[in-house]
A and B are shown apart, each in its own frame.
Chain A
Amino acid sequence: MSQRDTAWGPMEVQRVAASEAAQALQAVGIELKLCVPNLPWVAPEGEAKDLVRRAKEEDAEPVWRGDAYLLLSEPGQVTQALQHCRDELGYSQLYDLTACDPAADETQLKLIYGLRNLKSKARLILQSRVDKAAASVPSVASIYQAADWHEREAGEMYGITFVGHPDPRNILLPDDWVGFPLRKDYEYPDEYNGVSCKE
């Protein structure tokens, strides 16, 4: 394991923190899977490309590089997990909350929560998956106030309903906007309020 330092401490800290948090959360009954990157941070470029190509050819588990994350199997448990992270594990800051639509033919959206422990400098990423057809998760704005605007943005861009959000209006788009622009199957509007959107 290479010791690659980041602005927020060495990578080793991140990895240890992720596995510790996974154990702590599993102990309180939250179902999750610890996903650890299987490509080292400092592999020679050619070698890394070989690994990716071989994994694709053999249809094996995808090779990736980055931060370890916890994949919650049940999005409904997000509030419980974040509450535990904040109160017991010391992750006092929610630095990001976003979503991701991997492909138009996928049926699920990714939900990504980024937490940071300002004392131990550890970063913890929690992920979950929600169905595109009925994307609905409990809001965490009551746990981390920073989630308020993040959830509004993720909600309007990806069409996710955050249940229990204090103020679920659009934050960037106009209130009467149709469609969710960051979904891969989004179709551009022809006109808005009588103004043509055509080229």
Chain B
Amino acid sequence: MGILENSLPDSILTTRVDWMINWSRASSLWPMTFGLACCAIEMIAVGGPRFDVDRFGAGAFRATPRQADLMVVAGTVNFKMGERVKRLYDQMPGPKYVMALGACATGGGPYHKFGYTVMKGVDRIVPVDVYVAGCPPRPEAFLDGLMLLQKKIMRQRVIRAEPKKVVLPAGIGAQPAT
């Protein structure tokens, strides 16, 4: 990279710290098993050898929030369970990500209209990073959502400062009045 490129021995790589950290985070997402309904069956299938989520580094399903950094909300969240979902999310160490798997976790699904005790989307209690559509989603959809989340993680800034928002003086860059 740059001027260092050919001045180091072969065993040394140079890279950006942000890229390195993000790459580590994205390549070893440890999901928390949070099977609530039929979507959990697809999540389990993803963990099996046929779809093999280990290829993406997310195969270490943890049964405790303390060791996980990806909460896969797989299934119908009702209000009684919603309190537990929130509590488990709060117990996860950061950085943490949430995947809403399937129609129920995304927006109530088939219970949207008449499910009196079903939460109409888990994003009403925890911030969701990626939504996966389907009822239930195919394992391929899960993997697609996972790769999308990995792309999102790669865009994070760790030690780089957020780009400063340039405030232009009044009058410059403003839309012409119509």
- Check B113 against A192 for contact (C-beta < 8 Å): no
- Check B80 against A195 for contact (C-beta < 8 Å): no
- Interface range on chain B (Cβ under 8 Å from partner): 10 to 19
B36 to chain A, nearest CB (A): 15
Asked if A199 is at the interface of the complex by the 8 Å CB criterion, the answer is: yes
In the bound assembly, the distance between CA atoms of A193 and B82 in angstroms comes to 10
In the bound assembly, the distance between CA atoms of A186 and B113 in angstroms comes to 14
A198 surroundings in chain B (CB, below 8 A):
120
Query: Which listed residue (A181, A195, A197, A199) contacts B125, Cβ 8 A?
Result: A195
B112 surroundings in chain A (CB, below 8 A):
199
Contact with A along B92-114 (1 / 0, CB 8 A): 00000000000000000000110
Task: Give the contacts of B43-81 with A (CB-CB under 8 A).
Answer: 79-80
Task: Give the contacts of B105-139 with A (CB-CB under 8 A).
Answer: 112-113, 116-117, 119-120, 124-125
A196 surroundings in chain B (CB, below 8 A):
120, 124
Given contacts A173-B80, A189-B116, 6 further A-B contacts (CB under 8 A): A174-B79, A188-B116, A193-B83, A195-B79, A195-B119, A195-B125
Nearest first, the 8 closest Cβ-Cβ pairs linking A and B are A174-B80, A192-B79, A181-B116, A195-B124, A188-B116, A174-B79, A195-B125, A195-B119
Task: Enumerate chain B interface residues (CB-CB to A < 8 A).
Answer: 79-80, 82-83, 112-113, 116-117, 119-120, 124-125
